[in-house]
Amino acid sequence: MNLFLAVAAQAAEAASAPAAQESGNLPFLIVGLWVLLLSIFVGFEVIQKVPPTLHTPLMSGSNAISGITIVGSLYCVGNDYPLSAGILGLIAILCAMINVVGGFVVTDRMLGMFSAKGGKK
C-alpha cells in the first residue's frame, strides 16, 4: 500500500512535468492530437476518389507506408533504452524493413503491369 501511495504521488508530479517540456508550452499530447486530426482529414480527402482499379496497389502502397514504425524502432536501439529493449527494437527494425521494402517493391511490380499495358495500346 505504501508503494502504491508513493507511486501515485510520484506519478502525479511527473505527469505534469515532463510532458510539458517537449514542445514549448504545449504538452506533446495536444500537439500530437492536432496533427492526428488534420492528417486523418487529409487521409480521407486524398483517398476518397480512387478508382477501384487501383485499390490493390493503393492498399499495398499504404501498407508500405505503415512500415514508418521503422523510424520508431530505430529510436529503440538508442542508448537510453536498456539492452532488452534494444533487442526488441532490432526485431522491430527487421519486421518494419521487410514491410517497407517488400511493400514498395510489390506495389511497383503491380503498377508496372498497368503502365506496360497502357503503353502498348
Partner 1 sequence: MLAMISMTSVVELAYMASSLLFILGILKLGKVKTSKQGNLWAAYGMALAIGATMLLLITRGDWDPRPGEWAYQSHALAIGAMVLGSAIGWWLAVKVPMTSMPEFVAFFNGLGGAASMFVGLAEVPRAVELAEKAAEEAAKKGEVGGWTMSGSGADFAIAVMLAVIIGAVTLTGSLVAYAKLAGKLNKSRIGPLGSQGFNIVLGAVCIGAGAWGGFFAADPMGLWVSNGLLTLGALLLGFGLTLPIGGADMPVAIALLNSYSGIAGMTTGFILRNNLLIVAGSLVGASGIILTQIMCKAMNRSLTNVLVGGMGESAGGGGGSKDEGYTKVKSTSAEELAAVLDAATSVIFVPGYGLAVAQAQHKVRELAGLLEKKGCQVRYAIHPVAGRMPGHMNILLAEADVPYEQLYELDRINDDFKNTDVVVVLGANDVCNPAATNDPKSPIAGMPVLTVWDARTVVVVKRSLASGYAGIRNELFQMDNSLMFLADAKKALEDTITELKAL
Segment 10 to 69, residues that bind partner 1, using CB under 8 A: 10-11, 14-15, 18-19, 22, 27-29, 31-32, 35-36, 39-40, 42-44, 46-69
Contact predicate 19/27, CB 8 Å: yes
Q: Rule CB under 8 A: choose which of 24, 25, 26, 83 binds partner 1.
A: 83
Single residue of 24, 25, 26, 82 touching partner 1 by CB under 8 A: 82
- Please count the other Cβ atoms lying within 10 Å of the Cβ belonging to residue 80: 7
Footprint of partner 1 on residues 92-111 (CB under 8 A)?
A: 92-111
CB 72 within 8 A of CB 81: no
* Nearest distance from C-beta of residue 61 to partner 1, angstroms: 5
For 8, the grid coordinates are 501515485
Residue 1 per-residue DSSP state: -
Sign of CA dihedral 71, 64, 86, 81: positive
DSSP state at residue 26:
B
Terminal CA-CA length for the chain: 77
Minimum distance from residue 34 beta carbon to partner 1 (Å): 9
**Residue 28 C-beta: closest distance to partner 1, Å:** 4
Q: What is the nearest approach in angstroms of partner 1 to the Cβ of residue 25?
A: 15
Of 25 and 46, nearer to partner 1 (C-beta) is: 46
The count of chain residues that interact with partner 1, using the rule CB under 8 A, is 97
